[in-house]
Every structure is written in structure tokens, then in C-alpha cells.
Amino acid sequence: MQKRKLGNSGLEVSALGLGCMSMTSAYGPAADKQEMIELLRRAVELGVTLFDTAEAYGPFVNEELVGEALAPVRNQVVISTKFGFDIAPNTGERRGGVNSRPEHVRAVAEASLGRLKTDVIDLFFQHRVDLTVPIEDVAGAVKRLIEEGKVKHFGLSEAGANTIRRAHAVQPVTAVQSEYSLWWRGPEDEILPTLEALGIGFVPFSPLGAGFLTGNINENTKFDNSDFRSMVPRFAPDALKANMALVDLVRQVATRKRATPAQIALAWLLAQKPWIVPIPGTTKRHRLEENLGAIPAELTPADLQEIDVVASAIKLQGARLPESALNMTGL
């Protein structure tokens, strides 16, 4: 497995990580727990070292799953988790909105350590920016946790460039996590240049466009009510139909390269910067193995230019998130 360093932090992880959210929530009913434990351990066997979870996934049950699965190999892996939503640390009650008050950040860290069955959180992300709490206070709270040995690295998720700079000035930010793929290239405008200038790594979530870029979704696909995609504008039938042109492009390149669309979509991301580490999620072993096949599927400069030229002419439709969720991002 190829390794990559997240910016200048020195934190080295596998070139592809594993997003664990879908194992317990968001894409429909939770998967079988034992099967997910086996999947997580198989990922370790295949060389994956970065595993991404959050207290909000469930809430709590995803961290518990990851903690149980990775406990036997804890010294071989890097676990990232997140704070920032207003969830009661002990009961899991969702109180709505965000909460990054320093005392809450500490409470979440303490609770996450227990669920993850570990004595240190490798990478602690603020899940969403809390506009009621100065980012300097948030960074300071994580800085104290790092000084106490409870956290190793600080991260931000879906934060804007100015927020990243302000936080980084208080406590160096190791990585920023935001959506990024051929289907959503928003980070290219300000975020990627900011990260490059500051020496911060980038961890794209939804690198396969929540499944869209795999080619297994079309305008006739029906999503369960418990699947968040049922509420996302870009997954509405008309938008999907219009956006299929992008999938057609990826599929054409995949055919030529003797790869799958998912592998090409991930290979494209890996080719953008050497400090980018995508975290595709899955609940299926064969998809895990397919995704990891993206690492050797290198794209030439000519391939990348072709993709950019054709993709730039495609008019994509539909917002990437519902309006209420977009209002909680800095992008």
C-alpha cells in the first residue's frame, strides 16, 4: 500500500483511507455489525491505515463499531473522529445545531476515547464550524487536549479558507476534510491553495459522489427514506439524468484504462495533489477491494487533461446538499 503524508504534519497514512459512516447510518439501515467488523479488519489486512468516524454517526454507534473492530490492531492504524454537533455526550440526544464550546469539545473527546477503546485520538476534526464560538477558542481547546496527550492532531471539516488560517495560527491544522470529487470541485477555488500554502493535508469525503461516480446510479434509482440522498437536490431524477454525462465520461476513460469508473474517479483525486487522501466508504468487501485498485490505476497528464476539458463543458445540476445543511458549511 502506498503511503502519503498529510501536509507538513508528519502524519503518514495509506493513500486511501476508509470512511466508516455508511456502516451504521446515512445510506439506509445499518449494516450487520459482525460483517462490518470483518470488513474493517480486512481493510487493515489490505494496508489501509486511516479510518474515519464521528460521534454524530449514529450517534455513537459508529465509533463503538470502529473501536471494537480496530482494538486488536490499534497500534497499526490512525483513527480520526469528530466533534461539533450539539449532541449530549452521555445520552446521545440530538439537541439540534452545532456546539463547539470548549467545555463541550473536551466532553466529546473524553466520551469518544471510551467508545473507541483507546487512550488517544489520532486526528480530531471539528465536524462543522460553530459561528457562535471563535475558531481560536476551538483551536485552543484542541491544543490543550493535545498537550494532555488525549489527541495527536487537529482537523477541520467543511471550513472556509479564512477559518482555516485563523485556526492554524493557534494550533497547527494537520488536515481539512471536505467533499471533493469530479462531481463537486468547489475546494479548488480557495481551499486547496490555502492548504498548499500552509502545509495542511486534505481528506476528501464522498470522493465517489455518494456513489454516483461508480456508474451504479441513474435517474430511475430509488432511495430509501432513511438514505440521506433522498433529500439531496442533485439526486433528484431530473438532476441525475442531466449529470449522467459526467458518469459517461468517467466510464469511457475507465474502459480505455481497463479499470472501473470508481477506480478512475479515485485515481483522478489522487492525481490532484500528493497530500490528498480520499476516504471512500463502503459496506461491501468487493467494493473495498475495487476502490483500493485505484491506487495503481494512474492517469497520465493526457488523461487528466481530457477529463478536465470534457468535464468543464458539462453543466451539472442540483445542489450537493439540502439548503439547511449547506448553511452549516464554510464552502
Active-site residues: which are they? 57
Q: How far is CA 215 from CA 119, 242, 247, 251, 295, in A?
A: 41, 14, 6, 7, 19
Q: Are 188 and 308 in contact (CB under 8 A)?
A: no
Q: Which of 186, 226, 229 is nearest to 204 (CA)?
A: 186
d(CA 6, CA 8): 7
Q: How far apart are CA 176 and CA 164, in angstroms?
A: 8
Pairwise CA distance, residues 108 & 4, whole Å: 28
Strands 151-157 and 12-14: unpaired
For 317, which DSSP code? Answer: -
Q: What is the DSSP letter of 87?
A: E
End-to-end distance of the chain based on CA atoms, in angstroms? 32
Distance, in Å, from the CA atom of 221 to the CA atom of 27, rounded to the nearest integer, reads 13
Other C-beta atoms closer than 10 Å to the C-beta of 286 total 8
Sign of CA dihedral 109, 113, 118, 123: negative
What are the φ/ψ torsions at residue 84 (nearest 5 degrees)? 135, -20
Neighbours of 224 (CB within 10 A): 11
